[in-house]
Structure formats: C-alpha cells, structure tokens
Structure 1
Amino acid sequence: MKLTFRLFAFLLTATSLVSAQKKEITLDEIWNGTFRQEYLQSLQSLNNGKEYVILNFDRATRTSTIDVYSYESGEKTRTILSSANLPEIAYFTDFQFNDTETKLILGTELESIYRHSTRGIFYVYDLQSKELQKISEHKIQEPTLSPDGKKVAFVLDNNILIKELASGEFTKVTEDGEKNKIINGITDWVYEEEFSFVKAFHWNPTGEKIAYLKFDESEVPEFSMDIYGQDLYPSKTTFKYPKAGEKNSEVSLHLYDVAKGENSAVELGDYSDFYIPRIKWTNNPEVLSAQVLNRHQNVLDLLFVSAKENSVKVVLNETDDAYVDVTDNLTFLDNNSFIWTSEKDGWNHIYLYNKEGKLLKQVTDGNWDVTNYYGLDPKTKTVFYQSTENGSINRDVFSIGTNGKHKKQLTEKTGQNSADFSADFTYFINSFTSATTPYEFTLHLAKNGKLLRKIKDNTALLNKIADYTFTSKEFSTISVNGNDLNMWMMKPPKFDASLEYPLFMVQYSGPGSQTVSNSFYSSNDYWFQLLANKGYVVVAVDPRGTGYKGSNFKKITQNELGKYEVADLIQAARQLGELDYIDQDNMGIWGWSYGGFMASNAILKGNDVFKMAIAVAPVTSWRFYDSIYTERYMDTPQENPSGYDENSPLNHVEKLKGDLLIVHGTGDDNVHVQNSMRMIEALIQANKQFDWAIYPDKNHGIYGGNTRLHLFTLMTNFIEDHLEINPNTKLSL
C-alpha cells in the first residue's frame, strides 16, 4: 500500500485562525448567515468597454436602480434608470439591453418554473423618449428585443409572439403550442436541465429572421408529483420527463421571415432520434449555425444553415468513443472562421477553424484542461481562457494569440482565479479564492494582467473566523488502484497522532465534477469543520471519473457509472484506515445526489469498510433518471442492462451491515423521490433496518425556512450516534 501526502502549503496560519480559547462553530451559525461571504454584484459591461452597470435595490425605499460605474475608478458615474421615476413599477428584479443600448427590458413579478426558467411581467423602457411600455398583460417567458429595438419577441403559452412597439400590434409566429404537447421557442424540461438553456429562439443580426426550435413532446412519458401544501387535499403537478431509454421530444429547427410572416422548417438531413443542443447566428445574417447531436451523444455535427436558400452544410464533425461535451464556446470571427473547443487530443483545448470547417490551428496544447473560454478580442486576435496549467485543483487566467503564440498568464495568486472581461477586452475583474482566502475581487488590464485596483475582499469574514476554532484543509494525493487521486483532509484541532479518530468521507464523484479544489469554505465546508471540531477526521477524495485530469481519467467510467468510482472510494478508505490515527472500525461516508448514489453503493459494496452512510436525494437506479444525462454516460438500458443494474444500490441491499440514513424531498423534479422509495422498499423486503427522512414538497436542494438547519442537525446527530469516538480521544478534545 502506497499512501502519499504531498501537502500544498494551504494550511491556515496559527496567527490568523488557530489559537487557544476559540469559539466553536454551531449549526445555527452555518445556516443563519454568520459566515456569509461578500460577493461582487452581478455586473454587465457596456459596449464602450470603459463602464459597467449593476442592478441595485434599496431595501429602505424598495426601489431598483440601474447604475453605471467606471472600470478604472470604480466610482458610480450616473444612474440610467430608477424605478422611483416609473409610476407603473414599484421595482424590477431583472433587466437587459438591446444591442445598441437604447432600450431596456425590465422584469417584474418573476416566478421560477424549473432550474433556469422563469416567467414574469415585462416592460420595455426607451432610454431616449423615457417611455415605458408593458409587453403583455400575461406572464411571459424570454422577451428579447430585435437588434434595432423596434420589436420584441417572447413566448406565451408555448407560442412565440412578436410585438411591434410603435403600434402595439402582436404577430403570432406560432399557433400550435400546447402544454405537455408542443413547445415553441423554449426548451423542454430535459433540455433545460441537461443542456442548460431555456430560450430556443434567436433574432438574426439584422432582425429580419428568427430561428427557433420546436419540441413535440406528445409521446414523452409524463411524471407527476403530489404537492402537499396547506390545503385539505394535495394537488398534483405533471410534466414530461423522458427517463433513460424512453421517448424523447421530437425536436425540429424552423426559420421565420419577419417581413413575409412566413415559417419554414429546416431539413437538417438524414438524422434520427437526435438533439439540437445549440443554435447561433453567424456574423453573416443569412447563415445560422446549428449543432446536431446523436442520441448516444458521441457524434456532433456543426451545421451552417443558409436562411436564403434553406440549405444545410456540415462544417465540422466531432466524434468521441464516449461522449462529446456541448459548450457555449463557439465564437465567430469577422470572416466566419470560428473558435471551437474539443477534447479530441485527450485534454480540453481551443481550436481555430476557417469558415469551411478546415482546421487552421490548435490554439492551446498541453497535458492540462481549458476549464473556461472567455472570448476573443477581434482587434488583437487574442483568446482569453482559464485552465488547470498550474495544477488540477487550481485555476488561472491566460491570454494567447489565435496563432498559438504569445501566451501570457494574467493571474498570479495560487488558487481559483476566474475572470469577467469588459466588452472590448480592455479590463477584467478577477475573482480569487483559495483554501485560506475567501473571495476577493480585483481589476486588471487584460493585455498583461496588471493590477489596477482592489475592488472588494472578505477581510471582515477572516477577522470573524479568527474568533473560532478552525483547523486546515491539508491537500495531498493518495495512490489508489494505480491512480493518484486528489484529496484533502481536516483533522481535529487538538490532533494527536497517537490517538485513533473516526473517519468521515465526503464526496460527490459525478462525471467531470470536482470536490477537491483549492477554494475557501462553502456552507458544507463549515459543517465539515464542525465535525472535525467534534473529533472526526474528515476526508474528501475525487475518484476516477471526476474532472480536470484529462478525458481518459474522466471517461473511464463510461457505461459503468458507480463501478470504478465506488471501488476507488472504498479502497481509499481502506488505505486511510491503515493509518495509525484512524479508527478503521469507525468510518462513514456522505453524499448528495450523485454523491448519494455513491454513498449508498459504498456502504453496500464496502460493508467491511464503512460503518455508516448518509445518502441525500440519491439516484438509486439510473433507469429512473433523465435520458440526456444518463445516456451520455450509460447508453440506454436496452443497450446496456448490466451497466445499469450491476451498479444499482437496489440490487445490493442484502449486503447492508452498517447504519444507513436516506433523505429525500418529495418535490424533487430532478432526482425523483421514487429513487428513495424504491430503495426503501428493497431494504424492507431484505429485512434490513435503516433510517430515513422525507421533506414534504422540497426540491432537489432541500431548503426553505428552517429546512437546512433541520436536515444538517439530523445528519450531525446520526453521525454522532453511529460513528463512535474513542473515550481516550474524547478526553483530548
């Protein structure tokens, strides 16, 4: 057995965080905002590149303002709009400019639908005439101004409409929209969840045409959930949810000629059972790009659609033995050459193609991943990106020419660096955090990374934390099953290597994810610290299948989710249990969602290793989960039945020896409570004792009111009841 601890010097210093007579963290403090970080408000760069706007809300007067600030000085220069000057609106919570920044769309009365989607009452405000116009008396979705600002397109009751602002007249682009049947211009549930977009229509650059997607979900199976609420009888919500191997929506691409009022379907070619995860107009207003992905998600075609001739050309074909990631990185240059990202050399990198799809240059190269693409400065032909060049648990920001030369690292501090660039790529605001540093925000020159000014930091939080007992995250790698896995460990404050401590493993482990990162405490991290203070050694490990270590490491789990990741976690715990200071008879594991799937499998398949487990909102069979996510990694159940069943906790319940807590919300539209109910029934029929908790009407996040405090109190008590601390160790705490 080889166990390596290569510490990366992220220990919290004695003078700042660890000293005698400290206060102990409480669960109340974790969830009442005591340790909340200050963040930079969401900002939007103006076209001039010198200024940005922020939506501010004055709680005292309950008014909204769109305020303009200078990048260079940080000073407020003017207010574009205040709701105090709008008698029709008390306040607004969302806004967007048209392309020329002459008009605004203001959002009020917004209500969530699913993870990303909302509907609300929207207005158009003319910055020149100072006139305000309500778009519709009904709550609508995704209102978008035409490039000239004279029209607004939106979705109402699954149909696309256009409003002529001067006349107030409405034009129906589509008329066949119907709930749970036909959707025009917005995505269905599974596209929204797994392809991460809602608006599925786009004006072309001249405003003469609209491209949109239509979803026919008539044959998609329905899923229903009881809503218990406060009424005498529960209500029910029903929506289309394609599970693995089931019927998907039939998606089609359409073009609408605004002047002629005519719709035309685009004949994409010889495709069947496919997805259209992205559409985007090129710099040529007559050419639309569309990405077509096969159901297995291992073949993606980039198409150029001629809006004038309604013809289609395959410009780029991307294939992968496992799957092709869909991104928002496609960027067109003036001549319609384009930037594309791909893992085709084993790592995620940036590529430049001409408008015919011929590769001109692999812009970035190396055994590291590009983790974010920020954009292209067309004037200097400079690409800006984030990567793992300085270690997989870190992120830095770089610039490089489209010719692959003149690469510059624009950030200096070791940790997580993330950039937000001005519209003309003159400046960027860097967000930085590390294991010892809560978020700090600074302004830099994009051409060389020069620091111009500090914007905001969390010194006040560090000062507050100094009054509490904190240990440190010790970052290292552990050699497991032939791979060096990233790991961090938190030890009790008065750690004594001559004593034995129970071990509590935390993880997520999903494809391409990362739990072990050089970043500051999240809410869960404070809980982990609370457990360490109670006498537990808390460990996080990223097994095979997680991200940022190349595609081979990430995609080894293809067709067998839950096999290699579970084997790695069990073996890692077994090796850690061999350390003199770990009580190998008192080791537990916790996880949420995919992590709940892993925790369930770990206590069953690793019943000689883990004494207890907590599975929150777990997937218990991938047969129950949605088609796009599941089939990306598993193919369909019809094609891969053993992959689905051999690693399903449902089929291993007879192996349970330890203590298991299952937690789920009944209003979870993502990982349905069906998963836990089937697991509970399987355990009952196997005559296995376990604990479970159901949170009525709570979604996948299980929050609202007192819910999080109650949940984490429940889990803390369960850990203390079932992971025993040695009496001698207790005396030393």
Structure 2
Amino acid sequence: MKKCLLFLLLVCTSVFAQQDIDINNLNWLPNSHSFWVNKDDSVVVYDVDKLDKQITILSKSQLTAAGFTGEIEKLVWNDSKTKVLVYTNSKKVWRENTKGDYWFFDLTTGKGKQLGKNLDASSLMFAKFSSDNENVAYVSKHNIYVENVNTGKITPLTTDGTDKIINGTFDWVYEEELAARDGFRWSPDGKSIAFWRVDATSTKFHFMINNTDSLYPVIVPVEYPKAGEKPSSVKIGIVNIDSVQTNWLNIPGEPDNNYLVRMKWISNESVMVIQLNRNQNQVTMYDCNTKSGSARVIYKEESASWIDVFDISAGEYDTFPCQFVDNGKAFLWSSDADGWMHIYKISLDGKSKELVTKTNFDAYFKAYNEKTKTIYFIASPTDATQRYLYETNLSSKKTKRVTPDVFEGTNTYVFSTDASYAKHTNSNIKRNHNTRLVALSGHKKIFPKEADVFASPKLNFSLEKFKVKTSDGIDIDGIMAKPLDFDPSKKYPVFFYVYGEPMASVANDEPYFDYFIARLIPKGYIGIAMDNRGTPVMKGTEWRKSIYKNIGIINTRDQAMAAKEVLKWNFIDSDRVAIHGWSGGGAVTLNLMFQYPDIYKTGIAIAAVTDQHFYDNIYTERYMGLPEENEANYRKASPVTHAKNLKGNLLYIHGTGDDNVHYKNAEVLINELVKYDKMFDLMIYPNRSHDISEGEGTVKHLTDTFIRYIEKNCPPGAK
C-alpha cells in the first residue's frame, strides 16, 4: 500500500475537462477501475471515481530519455502498479503482431531501460513481472528468459527452442483454433514459471512458395496438422528460477493425442490444467502438483458433439475460462450440456456442482465482481440478433437484465478488472455505435455528462431485420439492406452474404453490411445476410450443435432453403441472384453454387476450404469428427465433390501466401472444374495471406475486381 501512495505522490497530476477523455481507446489497469490511454505519446491514467483529474505516469520526454523508440502499443503492469513494461516495434507472428521490444520503467523514479538488449530486435513475446517485481520473464525465438530488472542479468530458462520445439508460446494451430498465444505463467511467489512446450517434430510442413521476391522461388514452410493428422505433442513444465531445473507434469493421456487448452496457478504448488481429448467431446480439469507432477481430476464433462471450453466467437486470446469464487474453494464454469449455455459453480475438490443461471436462455459469462459476488453475463432471450447484459448473484441467485430498455440492439461491454465499471457500446441497424462509461451497479452513466445521442448510421442504404421459415420448418433470422430509393413495385437483384459456420454470425443487429456488398447496394441491389443452424447465435445447444459432423451439409441446405423463401418476395428478381463468402463463407458459397445451381446464378468465393481434408485438425475434427470416423460426410461436405454441377458465373479468389486456408485449395478446385469443362474466372494474389491485404494497391484492386464482376454478371438496378 505504501508503494501505491508513493507512486501517486510522485506523478504529475492535473485538472482537465472530462471531454478530453478518449474512452474508445481505454485500457483497464489490473485489480482496479482505473484505466490508461495514450495521450500525445504519453501514458495518462484516470480513476473512474475521479474523472476530473488525469495522472501522467510516463511523459514523452521520459520515454525519450530512456532511449524509447516507436509507438506505445501496450502496457504490462506489476501488481502494485509501481512498475510498467512498454511494448513497441511489434511484428506479425501469425494473425497478430505478438513479438516486439519491451522497455522497463520504474514509475517512482520515471527512469527506464530496454529489456533483452542482447537478443534479436523485435523478438520478445509476452513479457510480464514476477510478484516480487525483481524479474521479468519473456519468450524470444521459442525459448523463455528471465531478466533481473535491477542487475540486467538475463538467464535462459529453456535452451532447446527451435522452429520445431516451441517453449512459452504455441504453433500455428493452437493459436488459430484454441486462441492460445501466451504460453507461460509466473507462480504466485515468483519463484517458478509454468510453461507449455510444443514438440512439432512430427507435424508435417505445408510448403508455400514465394515466387516474386527473389530470382529463384523461396519455399516457406508452415507447421500445419491437417484433418486426420495427429496434433503436435504438448506438455507443461514447471521451471525453478534459481536452479533452472524443469519438472514436467504427469497429465494422463498421450501428449500427441490430447490438447492442453488452458492452465492457471491455484497456489505455489498447484496448477489447474484444462485438457480436451482429440475429438474435443471430453474436457477434464486437473489439479496438478508442481513438485510431484501428479494430476488429480477435479471435474470431467462429456458431450455427444463437441465442448466449447471458451466462447469461440468472442475473439479473446489466452483467457482462463474458470472464475475462482468462495475464496478459491470453487470456480464458475460455462456449459451448454443441459440445452442452454449456463454457468455452474463447481467446488475445487470436485464434490459439488451447482447450476447458477437457472434460465431458459443462453447465458455467456463475462465478468465477476468478487466484492458483491455479482456475475455478469451476455444474453438475449427473445431476439438472437441482439445482445444484452444480465446479472445474477451467488448469494441471492436472483437474475435480472442490467442493460436499460433504451439501449435496444447489440450491446458490448469492456469490464474494469474489478468488474465495477465498464465501457458500454450500443448500436442497432438504425442507430450508430455510441459509447459511455457506466457503473455496473444500476448501469449509471458516469461519462460523458452530456445526454446520450442516438444518431442514425451514416449509410447510403437502409437496413431491416426479417425472419423466414424454411420448408424444413427452420426459423432463420436475417438482415436486409435496401437502396435508399427502393421501389417495392419493381424487381431488384439480390446479393447474399454468407458465412454459415460455428465461428461467426452475420445477421446481427448492428449498423453494418459486408464491406464489398455495401458498395453495390446503392446501385440497385438487395443485400441479404442470414444465419443458419450451426452458427454461434443464442438459440440453444440444439441449434448450434445440430451441424456436428455435417458442416457443408446442414448449413448449405439451410441457406438454400431460406434463399428460396426470399426469392418469393415480389421485389426480388430470381434471375439475378448473387452470393459471396470468405474462408468458411467461401466454402459455403461454393457449395451453394454447386449444390443449388438453379438458385444462385453468380458467386464470388474467396480463400475457401474446397476439401474438408485440407483444413487443420483442431477446427475440422471438432465439428466433423476424425476423417476415419466420418469419411462419407467429409466428401459430401467438400465443394470439390460437387464442382461438376456448376452452371452459373463463378469468380474464385485466393492468395498464394495464405497460411490459414492454403492456396492448395484453389488448385485442387481448378483441376476439378477443368476436368468437367466448367468455365469460371480466377484471381490469384501472389504472397498475400488469408485477408489479402498486403502489398500496395491490393485492397483497391480486390474491391474493384469484385464490383466489376458482379456488375457484369448480375447487373444492378430495379426493373
């Protein structure tokens, strides 16, 4: 406590107008409801309870004096908030920039220095303080290091790291499909580190070829276990900082046939590890003794389909899915085993399990206020296109909606680390995004002082929601975009935007339509986005998991049958029907073009999985099972199987540098279309990755190609 007071006395404090606060870019501090922002290249902290004051903890001149170069990209705090690490000069690893440089600053003196100076530039990953503030640990080139912030001594804790032996971080597939990047955790006493070790020696390379950047082609290898291939071997070690000796946890199961998804220290001698089996339909939680390595089962759950250890659609990485409560004697766990996503309280000894959210609707855990014992979760009982904040209490068990009625639509919350406050953003198809700071108790607004302004989105088209019931009796939610001069007496071409797999939904109550299609709607198109069974919307377990072992089959049929209902509308021209999707949506686009060629006349598929066998094992086996168990449906679900049925206009687009959905998918599809003499159009972007954004002029060229193709083959305008 004395250190925190000293910190506050030494920093520069000033009074300011509340209007100056940039809450859109706030970053919450640990164990508090203070937040920091980058203001004029300085780090400024605000306390939510005292928003009329700002505290500059690091000025631009202090950063410069320490030799800091680059931009302030992220801060890593120690527990007492007296020391901080500044992350900068980051570079891309897989999807994101997760390696870079770190500077250490003592906030009581304002002095700082660069860490890891004898290691490669922009190579440090996931740096964080020990609890005694004496050391910082980080990863560089697949090894873990600890650096004493006082002496500058750097000690390697692992030395066997290579491109195939990965310590303290993960391979491509763990990051992509298990949302795992940061691969080590300090013990509470700061004397040990628990870390993942990935042995990808047996994992085969997928080779990409760079044909443009040198005289001869360059082979780019990516460790990539495809469906049916065993995972990389993974284990967890506990390394002692003083002795640099590692003790390995004896977790049951073959290390190359299970997934160690998450871990967290429970005490100085105990780590909780969450394991998924290869099929991902069984989760086991272990209490592992860090001295003996023994693993005791805390809890086990099985499913007839798959188990979501975390909310796969949330886009959050490295989050531990269990919230400890009752002074660490129990934890909260989310499961949809009873037909709805519910929150349970499970004792750490594994002897009791209690249903907390006793509701007949999905409840997605978001935060826990330890002081008030309040659990916050996202739900939408009556409209799956929307999102609202709810709360329940561990003591009273009462559940109520927190988001006021005035905020109809989609609501997102970024919670303070003590779950007392949040940045709240609201929007819907007729209301632009608007943001405020709120006290979660009573949802009281504390910033800005002015009244909320609910402005209409600045779109050059209108949006509305609809529902259709298919001939199979399935209710489908949709979003429709219309040109502003829409005339219901005329007929318009319709353009379907699709994703359709378990990672994302598209029919959301938000002021948005697909980036490409949005440019065409004002020219005289009707845009349609619909969510089929299998998408991660709040309609219960049966809806989300009916797609198990049937990706490419059930979702394709749902989309086609829903499209048939849309084509019955008087203002739709059934002769001008286009469709577009990217990645999983690209696969659905191809399946719809090939399996229902009488519905869809023109399609643009980008970076599509054309054969289910080609995608990674964690994603594909989670939803399709192992190929050897479900080979018939693997073939039936793959677009290449149906390519011979193409009748309409198809433009296929792919980047040769795509390490996610490999360019191999394009060439196999091309071969099949050629085999059956099917005419199609093709655009290949050399060395571009999955989002096809690299290189000067790429985004404009892709956009122009897209628009010209649609206007030529599915002409705009009402008739």
TM-score scaled by length of structure 2: 0.90
Structure 2 distance, partners of 1:323, 1:475, is: 30
For residue 247 of structure 2, the aligned residue among 243, 248, 264 is 264
Equivalent residue in structure 2 for 1:539, among 528, 546, 550: 528
Q: Does 1:655 align with 2:645?
A: yes
| Match of residue 333, structure 2, among 337, 340, 343 | 340
The partner residue of 1:530 within 506, 519, 522 is: 519
Counterpart selection for 1:409 from 401, 405, 413: 401
Judged with a 3 Å threshold, the aligned counterparts in structure 2 of structure 1 residues 455 and 90 are, in CA distance, closer, same or farther, namely farther
Q: CA deviation at 1:242?
A: 0.6
Correspondence 1:502 to 2:485: no
Residues 200 and 392 of structure 1: CA distance in aligned 2, closer, same or farther (over 3 Å): same
For 2:509 and 2:249, the matched residues in 1 are separated by 47
Residue equivalent to 2:388 = 396
For the 8 Å contact 2:75–2:87, the answer to whether it is kept is: yes
Select the residue among 624, 636, 654 that pairs with 1:646. Answer: 636
CA deviation map 1:1-22 (0-9, x unaligned): xxxxxxxxxxxxxxxxxxxxxx
Distance 1:401 1:559 in 2: 38
Give 1:69's aligned residue: 46
Which aligned pairs between 1:214-613 and structure 2 lie closer than 5 A? Answer: 214-271=197-254, 273-282=257-266, 284-327=267-310, 328-333=320-325, 334-371=327-364, 373-403=365-395, 405-412=397-404, 413-454=407-448, 462=456, 465=458, 469-521=460-512, 524=514, 527-548=516-537, 549-613=539-603
User: Could you tell me which of 615, 618, 623 is aligned with 1:628?
Assistant: 618
Match of 1:580, as an amino acid?
A: N
Distance 1:320 1:39, change over 3 A: farther
TM value normalised by structure 1 = 0.88
Say yes or no: does 1:206 pair with 2:206: no
Q: Is the 8 A contact 2:470 2:565 kept in 1?
A: no
Tell me, in whole angstroms, the C-alpha distance in 1 between the residues paired with 2:528 and 2:233. Answer: 45
Distance in 2 (CA, whole Å) between partners of 1:460 and 1:378 is 33
* Deviation for aligned residue 1:291: 0.6
Question: Measured at CA, do residues 475 and 576 of structure 1 come closer, stay the same or move farther in structure 2, by a change above 3 Å?
Answer: closer
Identity of aligned residues (%): 31
Report the counterpart of residue 129 of structure 1 in structure 2: 109
**Number of the residue aligned with 2:128:** 144
The yes-or-no answer on 1:688 pairing with 2:688 is no
Over residues 13-65 of structure 1, what are the superposed CA-to-partner deviations in whole Å (9 max), with x where a residue is unaligned? xxxxxxxxxxxxxxxxxxxxxxxxx9944323335735211134x4xxxxx21
Sort the Cα spacing of 1:725 and 1:127 in 2 relative to 1 into closer, same or farther, 3 A: closer
CA-CA distance at 1:461 after TM superposition:
8.2
* Alpha-carbon shift at residue 236 of structure 1 (Å): 3.0
CA shift, 1:287, in A, is 1.6
Match of 1:43? 26
CA distance in 1, matches of 2:435, 2:360: 29
Shift of 1:610: 1.0
Aligned pair in 2 of structure 1 residues 306, 99: CA closer, same or farther (>3 Å)?
same
Does 1:81 find its partner at 2:58? yes
Tell me what 2:316 maps to.
none
User: CA separation in 2, counterparts of 1:495 and 1:165?
Assistant: 65
Q: Aligned partner of 1:407: which letter?
A: T
Question: How far, CA to CA, are the matches of 2:239 and 2:451 in structure 1?
Answer: 48
Say if 1:71 and 1:475 are closer, same or farther in 2 by CA, change over 3 A.
Answer: farther
Cα gap change, 1:75 to 1:475, in 2 (>3 Å): farther
The residue aligned with 1:114 is: 94
Of 43-52 and 290-299, more deviation after overlay is shown by: 43-52
Distance 1:432 1:622 in 2: 38
Q: Please list every run of at least 4 consecutive aligned residues from structure 1 whose deviation after the TM superposition is greater than 6 angstroms.
A: 455-461
Offset of 1:361 from its aligned partner?
2.3
CA RMSD of aligned residues (A): 2.3
CA separation in 1, counterparts of 2:147 and 2:715?
66
Greater displacement, 536-545 / 306-315:
306-315
Separation (CA, whole Å) in 2 of partners of 1:619 and 1:151: 45
Amino acid at match of 1:224: F
Contact 1:386 1:396 in 2 (8 A): yes
1:198 to partner: Cα distance: 0.9
1:512–1:554 Cα contact (<8 Å) kept: no
Distance 1:268 1:414 in 2: 47
Structure 1 position 276, deviation (Å): 0.2
CA-CA distance at 1:349 after TM superposition: 1.2
Q: How many residues align?
A: 677
Rounded to whole Å, the distance in 1 between the matches of 2:30 and 2:624 is 44
**Cα gap change, 1:74/1:478 in structure 2, threshold over 3 Å: closer, same or farther?**
farther
Corresponding residue for residue 34 of structure 1: none
One-letter code aligned to 1:377: N
Q: CA offset at residue 191 of structure 1?
A: 0.3
Gaps of 5+ in 1: 1-37, 59-63
Paired residue for 2:73? 93
The amino acid that maps onto 1:541 is M
* Distance change in 2, residues 1:626/1:50 (3 Å): closer
CA distance in 1 between partners of 2:124 and 2:171 (Å): 16
Deviations 1:403-453 (A, max 9, x none): 462323221211111122223333222111111222211122222212233
* Aligned mates of 2:382, 2:160 — CA distance in 1: 53
Query: Whole-Å Cα distance in 2 between the matches of residues 618 and 456 of structure 1?
Result: 47
What is the CA-CA distance between 1:128 and the residue it aligns to? Answer: 1.9
Q: Distance in 2 between matches of 1:376 and 1:472?
A: 35
Quote the residue 1:29 is aligned against: none
- Tell me what 1:182 maps to: 165
In the TM superposition, what is the alpha-carbon distance from 1:710 to its structure 2 partner?
1.8
Tell me, yes or no, if the aligned pair for 2:62 and 2:110 is still in contact at 8 Å.
no
C-alpha distance in structure 2 between counterparts of 1:432 and 1:480, whole Å? 35
What secondary structure, in the 3-state scheme, does the structure 1 residue paired with 2:628 have?
coil
Moved more, 124-133 or 636-645: 124-133
- Higher mean C-alpha displacement, 442-451 vs 85-94: 85-94
CA apart distance, 1:211:
0.7
Is the CA contact 2:470–2:561 (under 8 Å) kept in the aligned structure 1? no
- Distance, in Å, in 2 between the alignment partners of 1:354 and 1:182 is 36
151-160 vs 654-663, which moves further: 151-160
Distance 1:48-1:538 versus aligned 2 partners, 3 A rule: closer
The one-letter amino acid paired with 1:624 is F
Q: Which moved more, 1:123-132 or 1:225-234?
A: 225-234
Aligned mates of 2:511, 2:483 — CA distance in 1: 18
Quote the offset at 1:164 in angstroms: 1.9
Seen in structure 2, the aligned counterparts of structure 1 residues 73 and 716 have a Cα distance that, compared at 3 Å, is farther
Distance 1:652 1:90, change over 3 A: same
Distance in 1, Cα, partners of 2:450 & 2:140: 41
Deviates more, 1:535-544 or 1:494-503: 494-503
Q: Distance in 1 between matches of 2:259 and 2:419?
A: 34
Distance (Å, rounded) in 1 between the aligned partners of 2:125 and 2:447: 39
Amino acid paired to 1:416: T
